[in-house]
Amino acid sequence: MNFFSQLIHNKILMISFVSWSIAQFLKVSLSLVKTKRFDFERLVGAGGMPSSHSAFVMALSTSVGKIYGWASPLFAMAIAFALVVMYDAAGVRRASGKQAEILNIIIKDVIEHKGLKEERLKELIGHTPIEVFVGGLLGIIIANILV
């Protein structure tokens, strides 16, 4: 079996991608309902409800736990990885998004008063804790359905 064939037949990886895809679909759908327009950035960009990163890593962890056992070293590594990713999404990336928001206000003020030409920074980088929680819960549910 070649590399790509093995990847496609990796049940845990496919469950994780299904969870990620469902989270991305939900993110686009919620944005469409909220703004009444299709936002391509929601399809490929970071941030928003639910966290697709959290859905991916929790589906990964849950699948590993169900298949290899909750006491296995593989599950320990998977859940540790998931917790780091989820902490980063709600902590570090969210803080950098808030900083971008403040910098954009400063840039706007400078542009209005001094004529500086500067591109706005991307503000939607991280997730709120609820977005991370919902994404993680989605991953757990999808993994429990598909394993």
Q: What's the confidence (pLDDT) of residue 104? A: 75
Q: Evaluate whether residue 119 is within a structural domain.
A: no
Is pLDDT at 141 greater than 60 in this prediction? yes
Q: Are 122 and 100 in contact (CB under 8 A)?
A: yes
Q: Evaluate whether residue 69 is within a structural domain.
A: yes
Distance (Å, rounded) from C-alpha 93 to C-alpha 28?
Answer: 20
- The mean pLDDT value of the chain amounts to 85
Q: What percent of the chain has pLDDT over 70?
A: 88
Q: Evaluate whether residue 46 is within a structural domain.
A: yes
How open is the CA angle 37-133-53, to the nearest 5 degrees? Answer: 65
At position 113, the amino acid (one-letter code) is H
Q: Evaluate whether residue 51 is within a structural domain.
A: yes
Q: Evaluate whether residue 19 is within a structural domain.
A: yes
φ, ψ of residue 102 to 5 degrees: the values are -65, -45
Q: Evaluate whether residue 28 is within a structural domain.
A: yes
**Of 13-17, 52-56, 81-85, 94-98, minimum mean pLDDT range:** 94-98
At position 129, the amino acid (one-letter code) is P
For the chain, the straight-line distance linking the first and the last C-alpha, in angstroms and rounded, comes to 23
Is pLDDT at 92 greater than 80 in this prediction? no
Exposure on the CB side of residue 102, measured as CA atoms within 13 A: 6
Q: List CB contacts of 13: < 8 A, sequence separation 6 or more.
A: 7, 60
> How many domains is the chain partitioned into structurally?
1
* Full residue range of the structural domain in which residue 64 is found: 3-91+126-146
Q: What's the confidence (pLDDT) of residue 120? A: 59
Structure-block tokens of residue 93: 């990336």
Distance (Å, rounded) from C-alpha 139 to C-alpha 23?
Answer: 9
